[in-house]
Amino acid sequence: MAINPVATEHSPIMPADRAAKRDFVRGMFSAIAPRYDLLNHLLSLSLDRGWRRRAIAALAWENDPSGLYLDLCAGTLDIAAELARRPGFGGRVVGADFAEPMLRAGSEKVSAAVSPLVADALDLPLAANSAAGAIVAFGIRNVSELDGALREVQRVLVPGARFVILEFTTPKNAVVRNLYHFYFHNVCPIVGALVSGHRTAYRYLPESVAKFPPERELAARMRAAGFVDVHWTSLTLGVAAIHVGQK
């Protein structure tokens, strides 16, 4: 799939239309799948590994170690595999993503406890009240309809289950924010293009973060979708945050 071939160096990349955004995102992640893990660790200076571990801890899976857990927008299954490896975990993790090449790129992480599933975040093939918990890492900003995805996750969770969102945010401190913007808008696109061979995918990253709701607004939208006890924790000077809500 050609990805926005007419985009200029400074023009927006993400389509405004929901259906077009869905096709764009799926095509883009399918294209960069072979180098996705490498670039995640490289561009985050490996901070993403610790962030993911903290997000999994926030899931409180120990409350139901034999339950079914959802890794939403699972990509190459990092979260699913990490959760399945936790000592004492005896359940199953469904790693759902609508870009099949991403799931295939993470196929070596599949185990008896990890089940890849090609599925859209807005239409999950899971029964209502079936999942003991759900988590999404750096994927919720890519869905074509955020509120619809939040409601769909709320639907599949059992009462009392947690939903954890790990996502990039914009730092509040002016100095950190300026450094962050310089890195995101100048370093990431160059390194991303060189390693992935894809010119626009890593220009999409800062654009998608800039358009994503800030922490307080995301928390309010989680509450509007039916989640309670919603709170968030900022990570690494505010460049990322973990939101937690309960059904």
Top pLDDT among 2 and 43 is at 43
pLDDT reported for residue 10: 44
pLDDT reported for residue 108: 94
Contact criterion met (CB below 8 Å) for 28 and 200? yes
81-125 per-position pLDDT tens digit? 999 999 999 999 999 999 999 999 999 999 999 999 999 999 999
Top pLDDT among 2 and 242 is at 242
- Where are the extended beta strands (E) located within 73-191? 92-97, 114-118, 131-137, 157-168
Which residues are within 8 A (CB) of 17 and not within 5 positions of it... i.e. 6 or more apart? none
**In this model, does residue 9 exceed pLDDT 60?**
no
DSSP label at residue 17: S
**In this model, does residue 29 exceed pLDDT 90?**
no
Give 14's pLDDT tier (boundaries 50, 70, 90).
low
What are the DSSP calls for 203-234, one per residue? HHHHHHHHHSPPHHHHHHHHHHTT-EEEEEEE
63-90 per-position pLDDT tens digit? 999 999 999 999 999 999 999 999 999 9
pLDDT reported for residue 17: 76
Give 40's pLDDT tier (boundaries 50, 70, 90).
confident
Give 12's pLDDT tier (boundaries 50, 70, 90).
low
154-174 per-position pLDDT tens digit? 999 999 999 999 999 999 999
pLDDT reported for residue 39: 81
**In this model, does residue 6 exceed pLDDT 70?**
no
Q: CA-CA distance, 235 to 183, in Å (whole number)?
A: 17
Give 2's pLDDT tier (boundaries 50, 70, 90).
very low
Q: CA-CA distance, 73 to 111, in Å (whole number)?
A: 18
Top pLDDT among 78 and 12 is at 78
Crossing angle for the helix pair 201-211 and 18-32, nearest 10 degrees? 140
Residue with tokens 């993470």: 106
Contact criterion met (CB below 8 Å) for 95 and 74? yes
206-231 per-position pLDDT tens digit? 888 889 999 999 999 999 999 999 99
Q: CA-CA distance, 61 to 80, in Å (whole number)?
A: 12
Q: Among 142, 134, 136, 153, which Cα is nearest to 212's?
A: 142
Q: CA-CA distance, 54 to 241, in Å (whole number)?
A: 10
State which fold the 18-246 domain adopts.
Rossmann fold (3.40.50)
Give 36's pLDDT tier (boundaries 50, 70, 90).
confident
168-197 per-position pLDDT tens digit? 999 999 999 999 989 988 998 888 888 888
Question: What is the percentage of the chain residues whose pLDDT exceeds 70?
Answer: 94
Which residues are within 8 A (CB) of 44 and not within 5 positions of it... i.e. 6 or more apart? 51
Contact criterion met (CB below 8 Å) for 247 and 160? yes
